[in-house]
Amino acid sequence: MMSVKEYAEDTGNNVAQILKVCLELGINVKSGDDELSEDDIVMLDNATNLISTDEETTYEDEDELDEAVENIMESNNLEKKYKEESTKPKKIAKPHQETNMKKTEYLKSRKEMYKNKEKLQNNEEDSSIALYHDNMTVKELAEELDCSPAALITKLMANGVMVNMTMPVSFEAAEIVALEYGKTLKKDTTQDITNFEEYEIVDKEEDLVKRPPVITIMGHVDHGKTTLLDTIRNSKIVDTESGGITQAIGAYQIEYNNELMTFIDTPGHAAFTEMRARGASVTDIVIIIVAADDGVMPQTKEAVDHALAANVPIIVAVNKIDKPDAKPDKIMEEMAAIGITPEEWSGKYPFVKLSAKTGENLEELFATILATAEMLDLKANPNRYALGSVIESKLDKHVGGVASILIQNGTLRIGDPVVVGTVYGKVRTMKNDMGQPIVSAGPSTPVEITGLSSNPQAGDKFMSFESESEAKSVAGKRALQERDKKFKSKTLSLDSLFEAIDGGQKEINVVLKTDVRGSEEAVKNALEKIDVEGVKVKVIRSDIGNITESDVVLASASNAIIIGFNVSPTALTKDLAESKNVEIRLYTIIYKVVEEMESAMKGMLDPEFEEKILGNAEVRKIFTFSKVGKIAGSYVTDGLIKSSGQIRVIRDGIVLHDGKVNALQREKDTVKEVKKGFECGITLENYSDFKEGDILECYEMVEVKRWIILN
**CATH code of the domain containing 477:** 2.40.30.10
Instruction: Give the integer Cα–Cα distance in Å for 514 and 586.
Output: 10
Ramachandran angles phi, psi of 551, nearest 5°:
-65, -40
Instruction: Give the integer Cα–Cα distance in Å for 585 and 597.
Output: 11
Residues 373 and 415 in one domain: no
Residues 567 and 591 in one domain: yes
Whether pLDDT at 552 is above 80: yes
Contact assessment for residue 613 and residue 521, using Cβ atoms and an 8 Å cutoff: no
Q: Which residues of 174-212 are buried (b: 16+ CB within 10 A; e: fewer)?
A: bbebbeebebebbeeeebebeebeebebebeeeebeebb
Residue 417 lies inside a defined structural domain of this protein: yes
Residue 374 lies inside a defined structural domain of this protein: yes
Instruction: Give the integer Cα–Cα distance in Å for 245 and 222.
Output: 7
Residues 524 and 584 in one domain: yes
Contact assessment for residue 288 and residue 303, using Cβ atoms and an 8 Å cutoff: yes
What pLDDT score does 474 carry? 87
Cα 672 to the chain's mean position, in Å?
Answer: 49
Please, how many CA atoms are within 13 Å of residue 121, restricted to the half-sphere of its CB? 19
Instruction: Give the integer Cα–Cα distance in Å for 126 and 110.
Output: 30
Per-residue CA distances from 642 to 506, 638, 645, 676 (Å): 36, 12, 5, 12
Whether pLDDT at 410 is above 60: yes
Contact assessment for residue 260 and residue 254, using Cβ atoms and an 8 Å cutoff: yes
Give the mean pLDDT of 681-691.
Answer: 91
Residues 547 and 674 in one domain: no
Q: How far apart are the first and last CA of the chain?
A: 64
What pLDDT score does 287 carry? 93
Beta carbons within 8 Å of 603's beta carbon, 6+ residues apart: 497, 498
Residues 259 and 302 in one domain: yes
What pLDDT score does 335 carry? 95
Ramachandran angles phi, psi of 499, nearest 5°:
-70, -25
Residue scoring higher pLDDT (345 or 129):
345
Least confident of 26-40, 301-315, 625-639: 26-40
Alpha helix stretches (DSSP H) within 501-541? 517-528
CATH of residue 600's domain is: 3.40.50.10050
Whole-model pTM? 0.59
What pLDDT score does 118 carry? 64
Enter the DSSP assignment of 94: P
Mean predicted lDDT score pLDDT of the chain: 79
Give the mean pLDDT of 107-112.
Answer: 69
User: What pairs with residue 538 in β-bridges?
Assistant: 509
Residues 222 and 267 in one domain: yes
Enter the DSSP assignment of 120: P
Closest by alpha carbon to 470, among 416, 428, 429?
A: 416
Residues 197 and 217 in one domain: no
Q: Nearest 5 degrees, angle CA 372-CA 409-CA 117?
A: 135
Whether pLDDT at 608 is above 70: no
Residue 711 lies inside a defined structural domain of this protein: no
Residues 507 and 562 in one domain: yes
Coil vs helix vs strand at 578: helix
Give the count of beta carbons closer than 10 Å to the beta carbon of residue 69.
22
User: What pairs with residue 647 in β-bridges?
Assistant: 659, 698
DSSP string, 30-74: -STTSEE-HHHHHHHHH-HHHH--SPPP---SHHHHHHHHHHHHH
Closest by alpha carbon to 490, among 535, 570, 555, 541?
A: 555
Residue 28 lies inside a defined structural domain of this protein: yes
Residue 124 lies inside a defined structural domain of this protein: no
Closest by alpha carbon to 429, among 461, 408, 452?
A: 452
Give the count of beta carbons closer than 10 Å to the beta carbon of residue 561.
23
Instruction: Give the integer Cα–Cα distance in Å for 205 and 604.
Output: 39
Residue 260 lies inside a defined structural domain of this protein: yes
Give the mean pLDDT of 532-558.
Answer: 84
**In one letter, which amino acid is 97?**
Q
Residues 110 and 138 in one domain: no
Residues 391 and 375 in one domain: no
Give the mean pLDDT of 661-684.
Answer: 92
Give the mean pLDDT of 14-30.
Answer: 85
Give the count of beta carbons closer than 10 Å to the beta carbon of residue 144.
20
Enter the DSSP assignment of 547: B
Instruction: Give the integer Cα–Cα distance in Å for 461 and 482.
Output: 13
Q: Which of 90, 115, 140 lies at the terminal end of a domain, its last residue? A: 115
Q: Which of 548, 572, 604 lies at the terminal end of a domain, its last residue? A: 604
Residue 110 lies inside a defined structural domain of this protein: yes
3-state helix, strand, coil in the chain (%, to 5): 35, 30, 35
Q: Which of 418, 452, 485 lies at the terminal end of a domain, its last residue? A: 485
Q: Which residues of 403-426 are buried (b: 16+ CB within 10 A; e: fewer)?
A: bbbbbbbbbbbbbbbbbbbbbbbb
Whether pLDDT at 206 is above 80: yes
What pLDDT score does 56 carry? 42
Closest by alpha carbon to 708, among 526, 545, 548, 575?
A: 526
Q: Could you tell me if residue 311 is left (phi over 0), alpha (psi between -120 and 50 degrees) or otherwise beta? A: left
Residues 270 and 341 in one domain: yes
**In one letter, which amino acid is 25?**
L
User: What pairs with residue 413 in β-bridges?
Assistant: 440
Give the count of beta carbons closer than 10 Å to the beta carbon of residue 666.
15
CATH of residue 269's domain is: 3.40.50.300
Instruction: Give the integer Cα–Cα distance in Å for 567 and 547.
Output: 7
Total domains present in the chain: 6
What pLDDT score does 184 carry? 81
pLDDT > 70 in the chain, percent:
76
Instruction: Give the integer Cα–Cα distance in Å for 211 and 407.
Output: 11
Task: Please state whether beta strands 669-670 and 584-587 pair in parallel, antiparallel, or not at all (unpaired).
Answer: unpaired
What pLDDT score does 328 carry? 94
pLDDT digits (tens, 9 = 90+) for 138-164: 888 998 888 998 899 988 888 888 888
What pLDDT score does 37 carry? 77
609 burial (CB, 10 Å; 0-12 / 13-18 / 19+) is: exposed
Residues 167 and 222 in one domain: no
Q: Let me know how long the chain is.
A: 711
Domain that holds residue 285: 209-379
Instruction: Give the integer Cα–Cα distance in Å for 144 and 126.
Output: 14
Beta carbons within 8 Å of 354's beta carbon, 6+ residues apart: 228, 317, 318, 319, 321, 360, 361, 362, 364, 365
Coil vs helix vs strand at 627: coil
Residue 13 lies inside a defined structural domain of this protein: yes
